[in-house]
């Protein structure tokens, strides 16, 4: 899953039109802010986009994300994931992918 996430984030950083077009329909849970050139997402929104429920349940997806070194890999690609809006609970936090 980590490899798929890094590839997805890389496509977003490169503003790949096919990838950005695929984000429509997720509302506030996952969207690309073209004005600020950042991907805004909740973990649930990212999970819905990246997996099918039969592939990996949300709990396992969340564990995978938090146990990964995604930011180390993204740094080499010129990006980073950081908290966009902290609500005090992981389930409610909103994150963003930014270019360095």
Q: Where are the domains of the chain?
A: 2-99
Q: Which residue has the tokens 């949300």?
A: 58
pLDDT tens, position by position, 48-64 = 999 876 688 999 999 99
Q: What is the pLDDT of residue 9?
A: 97
Closest residue by Cα to residue 42 from 100, 73, 86:
86
Q: What is the pLDDT of residue 19?
A: 95
Question: Per-residue pLDDT averaged across 67-85, rounded?
Answer: 95
Q: What is the pLDDT of residue 76?
A: 95
Higher-confidence position of 2 and 78? 78
Confidence of residue 93 (pLDDT cuts 50, 70, 90): very high
């Amino acid at each position: 899953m980590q490899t798929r996430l890094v590839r997805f984030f890389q496509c977003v950083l490169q503003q790949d039109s096919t990838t950005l077009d695929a984000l429509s329909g997720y509302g506030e849970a996952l969207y690309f802010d073209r004005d600020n050139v950042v991907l805004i997402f909740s973990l649930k929104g990212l999970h819905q986009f990246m997996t099918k429920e039969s592939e990996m349940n949300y709990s396992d997806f969340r564990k995978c994300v938090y146990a990964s070194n995604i930011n180390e890999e993204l740094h080499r690609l010129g990006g980073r994931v950081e908290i966009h809006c902290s609500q005090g609970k992981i389930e409610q936090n909103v994150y963003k992918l930014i270019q360095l």
